Amino acid sequence: MSPFDASSSPSTTEGAPRYRAVTRSNVHKTPQWSKLDPQMREAIDVVSQVLPFRTNPYVMNELIDWDRVPDDPMYQLTFVQQGMLSDADYAKMAQLVRDDAPKSEIKQVANAIRRRLNPHPAGQMTHNVPHIDGRPLPGLQHKYDQTVLLFPSQGQTCHAYCTFCFRWAQFVGLDDLKFQAQETTDLQDYLRAHKEVSDVLITGGDPMVMKTKAVRAYIEPLLSPEFEHITSIRIGTKSVAYWPQRYVSDPDADDLLRLFEEVVAAGKHLAVMGHYNHPRELSTEVSREAVRRIRSTGANVRMQSPLIRHVNDDADAWATLWKEGVKLGAIPYYMFVERDTGPKAYFEVPLVRAWEIFRDAYQQVSGLARTVRGPSMSAFPGKVLIDGVAEVGGEKVFCLQLLQGRDGDWVRRPFFARFDPEASWLNQLQPAFGEERFFFEDAPPQAKIRLNLA
């Protein structure tokens, strides 16, 4: 039996997948290693000293087309690439690896690089952390009125790491860059005090690496009458794409689906927020069966992904993904713009190109798939939608609005930015029509902006 066979090394903890993960330390033992040229092998060894690398047998055997490597989109999505580091950083780290430098020295250099990569964008560590009686609640995030995010400690890993992931800092071993909830009671205490919250999003990492017993410990208390103001529970997960066996053949798959049924029976809306980045992730029978089984419980599956250069910067890929999802009953939800963190320079596309791809894909699908919104930037003020490009008063502009905002009064308020064909993020845009600032930049620091909120 292969050491990477999915049936080997079953998990004995509540927070670990049920197979032996493929990481930097053992990837050279896989049959596919021999298919990589020396430069690609070195890149994996060098870049993974800085950015997290982890995959699994299903991704390697079922999703990656090894005859197309390195251009295969699923390979780009899961295997780190040389271009993910700057030339200078790569050269410095590569020299340390070639010289067999002490681990402490490699770690020191890697940490310095990590801290320059904007590890926690959009105020995640400064403005989104809620408080009770002046005490910060680690592992919770509250940016928008209606929704609280929970990061359970046992769920701070994934079945495989996406190379573009904006939460990469959760996985690199720097405790001060990590947020995780150690106590389930913090969430309950906070929700009792904040009746405006209607939605709880359990995220990570990936909460679906946890066994059902651990998932239940977080969800079951929310089904009691005192939390009737919580009407929706969301689970943010890549497992539907990277380990769909979680819902089909894992030892506690049926237990998990029974929990989903209990949530729906309690009158809550349960949404599995599936991170699908490419239509190939829905190409296997087990991935489609996972969606069918989830939906059979009464839960919904929603599809979301950033637009990622080298992976899905193609309108046809998006249109195919949305069409396949709709056939299975999954709901196209968001196309995001790649966030300003980690190896963004490797994955980003200009905002105008993102809008063109979205529009071209949108034109190919029927109304059932036009539930999708985008391209959207999850920036500091909120979710900023690129509505289009137009000429207004003789000036070419981006037409923008906020789908969500730190201040609810900002939502759906149109605003305009000067057209910039190279801009790839909100902070690179300038207000149109001679204005000096965008309207949200002049807003006073209100209680809704949760800095030290008691």
Cite the beta strand spans of 192-279 per DSSP E.
Answer: 199-202, 232-237, 269-275
Structure tokens at 58: 């299903």
| The residue to which tokens 């780009």 are assigned | 76
Burial class (CB in 10 A: 0-12, 13-18, 19+), 289: middle
The verdict on residue 53 lying in a domain is yes
Cα 152 → chain centroid = 15
Q: What letters, b where the CB count within 10 A reaches 16 and e where it falls short, cover 34-72?
A: eebeeebebbbbbbbbbbbbbbbbbbbbbbbeeeebeeb
Distance set, CA 258 to CA 116, 228, 294 (Å): 44, 21, 10
pLDDT digits (tens, 9 = 90+) for 81-119: 999 999 999 999 999 999 999 999 999 999 999 989 887
Is the confidence at residue 286, as pLDDT, over 70? yes
Distance CA 240, CA 301 (A): 9
The percent helix, strand, coil of the chain (3-state, each to 5) is 40, 20, 45
Structure tokens at 265: 């029976």
Is the confidence at residue 3, as pLDDT, over 70? no
pLDDT digits (tens, 9 = 90+) for 193-232: 999 999 999 998 899 999 999 999 999 999 999 999 999 9
Cβ contacts of 91 within 8 Å, gap of 6 or more: none
Is the confidence at residue 13, as pLDDT, over 60? no
Is the confidence at residue 448, as pLDDT, over 70? no
pLDDT digits (tens, 9 = 90+) for 371-387: 999 999 999 999 999 99
Is the confidence at residue 392, as pLDDT, over 80? yes
Distance CA 184, CA 181 (A): 7
SS3 of residue 249 by DSSP: coil
The verdict on residue 56 lying in a domain is yes
CA angle 236, 240, 244 (to 5 degrees): 140
Element (H, E) at 110: helix 103-115
Q: When comparing pLDDT for 225 and 5, which is higher?
A: 225
pLDDT digits (tens, 9 = 90+) for 308-327: 999 999 999 999 999 999 99
pLDDT digits (tens, 9 = 90+) for 118-152: 877 755 666 788 888 888 898 899 999 999 999 99
- Of the candidates 309, 232, 316, 320, which has an alpha carbon nearest to the alpha carbon of residue 276? 320
Distance set, CA 439 to CA 127, 285, 408, 431 (Å): 19, 49, 13, 9
Element (H, E) at 58: helix 57-58
The verdict on residue 91 lying in a domain is yes
| The residue to which tokens 């006073």 are assigned | 444
In whole numbers, what is the pLDDT of the chain averaged over residues?
Answer: 90
SS3 for 122-180 is CCCCCCCCCEECCEECCCEEEEECCEEEECEHHHCCCCCCCCCCCCHHHHCCCHHHCCC
Is the confidence at residue 9, as pLDDT, over 70? no
Contact 4, 30 (CB under 8 A): yes
Confidence of residue 180 (pLDDT cuts 50, 70, 90): low
Distance CA 43, CA 37 (A): 10
Distance CA 90, CA 87 (A): 5
CA angle 113, 123, 78 (to 5 degrees): 50
Full DSSP string of 256-309: HHHHHHHHHHTT-EEEEEEE--SGGGG-SHHHHHHHHHHHHTT-EEEEEEEE-T
- Of the candidates 149, 255, 266, which has an alpha carbon nearest to the alpha carbon of residue 210? 255
Contact 435, 429 (CB under 8 A): no
The verdict on residue 46 lying in a domain is yes
Contact 221, 184 (CB under 8 A): yes
pTM for the full predicted model: 0.90
Range of the domain at 48: 27-115
Distance CA 397, CA 418 (A): 5
Distance CA 425, CA 448 (A): 24
- Of the candidates 91, 92, 22, which has an alpha carbon nearest to the alpha carbon of residue 60? 22
The verdict on residue 31 lying in a domain is yes
The verdict on residue 41 lying in a domain is yes
Structure tokens at 443: 């807003």
The verdict on residue 174 lying in a domain is no
The verdict on residue 48 lying in a domain is yes
Specify the pLDDT at position 300: 98
- Of the candidates 299, 256, 254, 308, which has an alpha carbon nearest to the alpha carbon of residue 81? 308
| Structural domains in the chain (count) | 1
Is the confidence at residue 160, as pLDDT, over 70? yes
Specify the pLDDT at position 166: 81
Distance CA 401, CA 332 (A): 20
